[in-house]
Amino acid sequence: MNPEWNQMATVAQAYRLGTRYLEGHRVESPRFISELLLRTALGWDRTGLFTRFHEPLPFEAAQRFITWLKQRAEGIPVQYLIGEQEFFGRSFRVEPSVLIPRPETEILVETVLREADRIWKGKAVTAVDMGTGSGAIAVTLATERPDWEVVAVDRSPAALKVARQNGAKNGSGDRIRWMQGDWLEPLLKRDLRVDVVVSNPPYIPAGEIPHLDVEVRDHEPRMALDGGPDGLDPYRTLVRGIPAVLKNPGLVVFEVGEDQSETVGEMLEESLAGAQVFFVSDLAGRPRVVAARTGMG
């Protein structure tokens, strides 16, 4: 144990020592991470932490805080340590069996909501989230549009367990159909057709994974990262099967990686005759979302 940690008599001392420890291990945003881990270990909100700064630090909270500091210094994402991540203004449970929801994926959800409202003028639709992971997309759609029928598919039982928990946590789990299987197979087996297909699939080329940040490379599920040799294998599988499950009119919305938008757009144009393909950029100006409207004339 770091000798300095014996000096964690008060909450304030713990915060300062935690910050210094993370700085020494070159962890990004050490002050913020120290604060977040400390108040989570204590079970306090931010106001509670700073109004009770000079109180004694309980032993159990100190042990939990020290353990988390060590784990964060080893590269474990802070979201896995505290067990949650915010997405679209809601809290989602995360653990190493699921990818941590990213802020840029909110653009994907915003695109689905906006375009569905344009096409169906507020009428209820059926939407499927392919490779649901933590359930962030499916749960958000079901919560934002309570009259929609939402289907969530993932091949990982562990991921589906977390997704179900997030559905219950956010009050929409009973309105989502959870299906285990490989991409579109569960829909094809049930002859189920949908209005909207949305997916944030694995899109990182396999050869690039060893060069990712340690937090991602060593701790997030490879199944949720690896898109095959060129990162496009999941899109090929999805695009090939979508005509069999998509109603007319229909909407397909994908998140894509760097330099993939044009290729994925061409896939959709070839697979969906007459589709209107368009792109939505992230805040950095990179095409982040590729979408296609079908049956629009």
Provide φ and ψ at 95, rounded to 5°. Answer: -150, 170
The DSSP-derived string for 98-143 is SPPPPTTHHHHHHHHHHHHHHHHTT---EEEEES-TTSHHHHHHHH
In the chain, DSSP finds a helix count (H) and a strand count (E) of 12, 9
Give 136's contacts (C-beta < 8 A, 6+ positions apart).
87, 88, 92, 101, 105, 166
Write down the pLDDT at residue 205: 86
Write down the pLDDT at residue 219: 85
Write down the pLDDT at residue 8: 75
Write down the pLDDT at residue 212: 85
Structure-token pair, residue 101: 């929801």
Handedness of CA 98, 100, 102, 107 (dihedral sign): positive
Q: Which helix (H) or strand (E) holds 217?
A: helix 214-217
Write down the pLDDT at residue 214: 85
Strand pairing category for 126-130 and 287-294: unpaired
Write down the pLDDT at residue 4: 65
Distance of CA 9 to the CA centre of its chain: 37
Strand pairing category for 149-154 and 246-255: unpaired
**Angle between the 11-24 and 30-42 helix axes, to the nearest 10 degrees?**
140
Q: pTM for this structure?
A: 0.92
Give 94's contacts (C-beta < 8 A, 6+ positions apart).
79, 80, 83, 84, 85, 100, 101, 134, 162
Q: Are 209 and 225 in contact (CB under 8 A)?
A: yes
Write down the pLDDT at residue 297: 58
Vertex 175 angle, CA 170 and 181, to 5°? 100
Q: Are 252 and 231 in contact (CB under 8 A)?
A: no
CA distance linking residue 239 with residue 115, whole number of Å: 19
Structure-token pair, residue 109: 């959800």
The terminus-to-terminus CA distance of the chain in angstroms comes to: 68
Residues of the chain scoring pLDDT < 70:
1-7, 297
Write down the pLDDT at residue 5: 65
Q: Are 201 and 182 in contact (CB under 8 A)?
A: no
